[in-house]
């Protein structure tokens, strides 16, 4: 009986099992985090950008701000096209002070408003002799309930797809005149969780609205591929990218208490904004992609697309319907 009394109890074995399970989970999560860190692409190009004019939408925060910071260090003249002028001017002052580059210009642009897009484009066409790089970086995501733009278009789609589509058309003559020039479009691997419904290209009322972020990224890919095809031989290259899952302001609309686990995930496993900007910087500066167009990149390397994303006919139809939704006129530049 004395010997039996010294044997570990059932509770002891249960505690050891729980401890081992927790340790295993922690070790796995740390391994995943380490793997994500060491496999994240980094732009090692040292290309200088003196004399280059770069437009970056959404350059006031997140990966747009980090892109502006890096290109400012390379000597570029940067037009920060932003909806929030207060945060944009603060970002401009911060970057100018850090880099010593005083060629940063803030201009108002709300991609969710076709009026704002046209006003911004008119200003650029009138005052800028050239555009060397146009970076479509700005994006937004809603959580559950969607919103409608002043043009009657679902706001996520208006901001993430239709705004950039319209802006590209309005600036295309300047980009062609500036050749060789580049268009860089920030898409996302999240497109794989969505599809583009050609019968509902203004998806007002979709629930949850967060799904439309995925749809808009799919639309970005169709847009980029069709744009590259139409600009072949023009001297304007078009490439698009997945920046990675980023710890940035794009997730700020996730409501409480769902934002609590989201914050833990983003802080623990998502890329920093600096890491997330690397592929954008690579496509904007690297000499080795100067003659590459219509390709998808991830971690500074060319990547593959799903069969659905390669559907050229669907991409063409989306283009044609987008022309109608952004109300392009006979007087507007054609692509």
Exposed, middle or buried, 185 (CB in 10 Å: 0-12/13-18/19+)?
buried
In DSSP terms, 242 is beta-bridged to 298
The single residue of 162, 191, 213, 296 carrying the catalytic annotation is 213
Active site residue 213: yes
Cα-based distances in Å from 176 to 43, 132, 135, 183, 222: 26, 9, 15, 11, 21
Residue 238, helix vs strand vs coil:
strand
DSSP structure class, residue 333: -
E strands in 125-277: 133-136, 181-186, 236-242
What DSSP element (H or E) covers 228? Answer: helix 211-230
Beta strands in 74-180 (DSSP E): 77-82, 104-108, 133-136
CA pair distance 308, 171, nearest whole angstrom = 29
- Reading phi first (left if > 0) and then psi (alpha if -120 to 50, else beta), residue 62 is in left
Question: Residue 73 corresponds to which tokens in the numbers above?
Answer: 């260090």
Question: Cα separation of 134 and 20, whole Å?
Answer: 52
Whole-angstrom CA distances from 14 to 10, 26, 217 are 6, 18, 47
DSSP string, 140-158: ----SS--B-TTSSBHHHI
> Active-site positions?
213
């Amino acid at each position: 009986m004395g010997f039996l009394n010294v044997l570990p109890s059932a509770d002891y074995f249960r505690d050891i099992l729980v401890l081992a399970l927790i340790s295993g989970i922690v070790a796995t999560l740390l391994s995943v985090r380490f793997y994500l860190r060491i496999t994240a692409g980094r732009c090692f190009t040292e290309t200088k950008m003196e004399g280059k004019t770069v437009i970056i939408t959404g350059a006031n925060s997140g990966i747009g701000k980090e892109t502006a910071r890096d290109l400012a260090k390379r000597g570029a003249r940067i037009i920060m096209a932003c909806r929030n002028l207060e945060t944009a001017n603060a970002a401009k002052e911060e970057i100018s002070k850090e880099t010593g580059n005083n060629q940063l210009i803030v201009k108002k642009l709300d991609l969710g408003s076709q009026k704002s897009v046209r006003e911004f484009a008119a200003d650029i066409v009138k005052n800028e002799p050239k555009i060397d790089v146009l970076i479509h970086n700005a994006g937004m995501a809603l959580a559950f309930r969607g919103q409608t733009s002043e043009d009657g278009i679902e706001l996520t789609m208006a901001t993430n797809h239709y705004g950039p589509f319209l802006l590209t058309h309005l600036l295309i003559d300047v980009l062609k005149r500036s050749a060789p020039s580049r268009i860089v479009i920030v898409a996302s691997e999240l497109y794989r969780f969505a599809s583009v419904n050609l019968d509902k290209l203004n998806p007002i009322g979709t629930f949850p609205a967060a799904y439309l972020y995925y749809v808009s990224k799919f639309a970005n890919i169709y847009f980029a591929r069709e744009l590259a095809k139409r600009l072949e031989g023009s001297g304007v290259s078009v490439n698009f990218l997945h920046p990675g899952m980023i710890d940035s302001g794009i997730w700020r609309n996730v409501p409480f208490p769902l934002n609590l686990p989201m914050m833990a995930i983003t802080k623990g496993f998502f890329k920093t904004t600096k890491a997330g900007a690397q592929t954008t910087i690579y496509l904007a500066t690297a000499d080795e992609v100067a003659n590459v167009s219509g390709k998808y990149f991830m971690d500074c390397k060319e990547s593959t697309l799903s069969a659905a994303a390669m559907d050229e006919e669907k991409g063409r139809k989306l283009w044609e319907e987008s022309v109608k939704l952004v109300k392009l006129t006979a007087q507007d530049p054609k692509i």
